[in-house]
Amino acid sequence: MERWRTYGFVAGFLAVPMVLYTVFVISPYAQAFQISLTDWNGVSARLHYVGLDNFGRLLGDEVFWRALRNHGILLLVLPIATIVIALFFAFLLNLGGGARGPGMAGVRGSAFYRVVFFFPQVLAVAVVGVLFKAVYRPDESGVINGALIRLGLEPVGWLIEPDLALWAIIAVMVWQAVGFYVVLFSAGMAAIPKDYFEAAALDGAGRVRLFFSITLPLLRDTVQVGWVYLGIAAFDGFALIQVLAGDKGEPDGATTVLPIEIWKNAFSYSKVGYASAMGVALFFLTVTFAVLTLRTTRRERIDL
């Protein structure tokens, strides 16, 4: 009887979110798997099953592989660049000032910088996209190119050179993400007991040594979480690329990613079945990435 009441109580709380989650998340996922086996065009009332044809076609689709390659680059560069920069800033903001008064302090004005770093995070992706469109604009009205032209240099086609466009977009993604991870890592650093640093400092450790021997090892869990988040973000990028580069991943598809291709196939070409197959592929990629990262970086927890 006692047990019934406890479980009933818990179940009462869980029922509504579970139902919502099932209806709005699980069932569309399941349906995407179903539709990926059909050649549904988005309007017909009947599903015509074609087996694994869509997946076979994926393997031979040059654009699909180009999108995958771009995901690969994003997956390598986005987390590393963001985490390195964010760790650096977080260290400076929290511990970079050295021992001052009781415990460690950040560099002068760190409260102000903290707010500034967080600004990009509050902006909607679309706003960031429009903003950087103006920054990257290829003529004299662009922020960067305007300055370059005034200095007598050749303007750079940030978003129109196929070799440059993806990097220009990654730079924006990093710029936008850093603020959040600075805050995340700052919280992690605040949880590290001050006496560790004091003890190390007494033994003569410099800031670099403090960072690598104390801060980084004790932040491991936080960094790992950040890595997974950023990895998943690397599988998206849809909104930013759509606004900044265009809805075909311009130029020449050099910046295309799977979500862009899914959108194009489903809504422009009415190939909803094929698009769903891409969605399923993307699902497995994301899950594989998350599982792999969590597995390979698992380790004994350190109790602080």
Partner 1 sequence: MTHPGEITRRQLIRRVGLTALVVGPGAGLLSGCATGGGEEPAAPVTSAAGSADPRNPFGVDAKKPLKVTIFSGGYGDAYAKEIHEALYKKEFPGAAVEHDATQQISTQLRPLFVSGDVPDVVNNSGPQALDLVALAEQGHLADLTGLFDAPSIDDPAKRIRDVVTPAVLDNAKIDGKDLVLNYTVSHRALWYNAKLFAAKGWAVPRTWAEFTALGDKAKAEGILLFAYPGQKGPYYQLWNVLYTAAKIGGNQAIIDIDNLVDGAWKAEPVKQAVTAWADIQAKYGDKAYFGLDHTQTQVKHLQDKLLFYPVGSWIENEMAKDKPDGFEYAIAPIPDVTAADKMPYGAIQVGVGENFFVAARGKNPQGGLEYLRIMLSKEGARGFTEKTQNLTVVNGAAEGLDLPPGLRSAAKAQDAAGQNIITDARFEGWYKELFDYGTEQINVVMAGRITPDEFCSRMQAKADAIKKDSSVPKQTRGE
Q: Does 124 bind partner 1 (CB under 8 A)?
A: yes
Residue of the chain from 126, 143, 190, 216 that contacts partner 1 (CB under 8 A)? 126
User: Toward partner 1, which CB reaches closer, 195 or 252?
Assistant: 252
Q: What is the DSSP letter of 219?
A: T
Q: Does 35 bind partner 1 (CB under 8 A)?
A: yes
One-letter amino acid for residue 271 of the chain: K
Give residue for tokens 């004299």.
Answer: 140
Alpha helix locations (H) across 137-271? Answer: 143-150, 162-190, 194-202, 207-210, 216-218, 220-234, 238-244, 258-263
Binding segment for partner 1 among 24-32, 85-93, 98-106, 107-115 (CB under 8 A)?
A: 24-32
| Residue 274 tokens, joined | 């094929």
Q: Does 138 bind partner 1 (CB under 8 A)?
A: yes
How many CA atoms lie less than 13 Å away from 29 in the CB half-sphere? Answer: 10
Residue of the chain from 9, 19, 22, 28 that contacts partner 1 (CB under 8 A)? 28
Give the three-state DSSP class for 33.
helix
- Of 228, 255, 229, which is closest to residue 244 (Cα–Cα)? 255
Give the three-state DSSP class for 293.
helix
One-letter amino acid for residue 224 of the chain: Q
User: Toward partner 1, which CB reaches closer, 196 or 263?
Assistant: 263
Q: Closest distance between partner 1 and the C-beta of residue 136, in Å?
A: 7
Element counts in the chain: helices (H) and strands (E): 15, 2
Q: Does 55 bind partner 1 (CB under 8 A)?
A: no
Give residue for tokens 């003569």.
Answer: 204
Q: Does 175 bind partner 1 (CB under 8 A)?
A: no
User: Toward partner 1, which CB reaches closer, 182 or 282?
Assistant: 282
Q: Does 282 bind partner 1 (CB under 8 A)?
A: yes
Q: Does 160 bind partner 1 (CB under 8 A)?
A: yes
| Residue 243 tokens, joined | 């606004």
Residues 184-243 that bind partner 1 (CB under 8 A): 232, 235-236, 238-239, 242-243
Question: Is-contact 54 274, C-beta < 8 A?
Answer: yes
Binding segment for partner 1 among 8-16, 110-118, 204-212, 275-283 (CB under 8 A)?
A: 275-283
- Of 255, 279, 290, which is closest to residue 69 (Cα–Cα)? 255
Binding mask 232-261 for partner 1 (x = CB under 8 A): x--xx-xx--xx--xxx-xxxx----xx--
Assign residue 103 a region: left if phi > 0, alpha if psi is -120 to 50, beta otherwise? left
* Nearest-angstrom CA–CA distance, 182 and 106: 13
Binding segment for partner 1 among 3-11, 83-91, 111-119, 159-167 (CB under 8 A)?
A: 159-167
Q: Does 64 bind partner 1 (CB under 8 A)?
A: no
Q: Does 1 bind partner 1 (CB under 8 A)?
A: no
User: Toward partner 1, which CB reaches closer, 98 or 157?
Assistant: 157
Binding interface with partner 1 (CB under 8 A)? 25, 28-29, 31-33, 35, 39-47, 124-126, 129-130, 136-139, 155, 157-160, 162, 232, 235-236, 238-239, 242-243, 246-248, 250-253, 258-259, 262-264, 266-272, 275-276, 278-280, 282-284, 286-287, 290
